[in-house]
């Protein structure tokens, strides 16, 4: 069942991201491991974009501090550009897909993004942080509400959302998602190392 695959891809994405936040909370905020799970649920729930934004914000802040400590200026493009991008990502829904559009055209959207962004940039974004950022920003757009769309028939879709996601035409989209999620999960342990190194 394609819909089940989509659900498990979304779950893998969520758990990978939350493991990075958990690593940060344990190492830098000195939160007990036992309390981290409750804090993650309370702070983020299933909000993928919120988790991704938090991780990228932590990384940008660390790089900003390092850059400034080496004599960089607060108004340099190196500082300003990532902050503007994060503000846009946080504040604008247009960075994600309309839920109706995503359900109706899931296979076309995933295929377009896979061929248009992922394949084009995967060899450019080679370090773990940039690779994580590219994949996390892309995947969060698909998975923001996918846990419920892939499991529970919803009135707003005429109770057909699970049926629409389960069509055979989504086979190709699932293969593309499998490629991206697999790579995403390979990058996660490298992100833990980066998080541990943060000052």
The predicted model scores a pTM of: 0.84
**pLDDT value at residue 93:** 47
Has residue 186 got a pLDDT over 90? Answer: yes
SS3 28: coil
Give yes or no for residue 9 having a pLDDT over 80: yes
Q: What is the mean pLDDT of residues 173-186?
A: 94
Q: What pLDDT is recorded for position 94? A: 42
Residue 130's pLDDT is 85
- Condensed to tens digits (0 to 9), the pLDDT of residues 84-123 reads 777 766 665 444 567 777 787 888 989 988 998 888 888 8
Residue 14 near residue 44 (C-beta atoms within 8 A)? no
**Residue carrying the six token digits 């892309």:** 138
Q: Which of 18-32, 128-142, 146-160, 178-192 has the lowest mean pLDDT?
A: 146-160
User: For residues 135 and 187, is the Cβ–Cβ distance under 8 A?
Assistant: yes
**Maximum distance among all alpha carbons in the chain?**
58
């Amino acid at each position: 069942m394609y819909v089940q695959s989509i659900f498990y891809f979304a779950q893998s994405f969520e758990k990978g991201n939350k493991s990075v936040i958990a690593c940060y909370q344990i190492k830098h905020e000195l939160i007990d491991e036992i309390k981290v799970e409750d804090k993650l649920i309370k702070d983020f729930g299933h909000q993928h974009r919120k988790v991704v934004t938090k991780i990228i914000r932590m990384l940008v802040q660390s790089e900003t501090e390092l850059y400034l400590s080496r004599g960089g200026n607060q108004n340099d493009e190196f500082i300003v550009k990532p902050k503007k991008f994060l503000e846009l990502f946080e504040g604008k829904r247009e960075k994600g897909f309309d839920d109706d559009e995503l359900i109706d055209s899931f296979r076309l959207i995933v295929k377009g993004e896979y061929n248009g962004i992922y394949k084009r940039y995967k060899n450019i974004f080679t370090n773990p942080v940039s690779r994580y950022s590219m994949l996390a920003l892309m995947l969060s757009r698909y998975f923001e509400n996918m846990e419920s769309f892939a499991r529970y028939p919803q009135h707003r879709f005429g109770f057909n959302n699970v049926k629409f996601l389960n069509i055979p035409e989504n086979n190709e989209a699932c293969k593309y998602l499998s490629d991206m999620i697999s790579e995403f999960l390979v990058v996660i342990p490298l992100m833990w190392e980066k998080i541990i190194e943060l000052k």
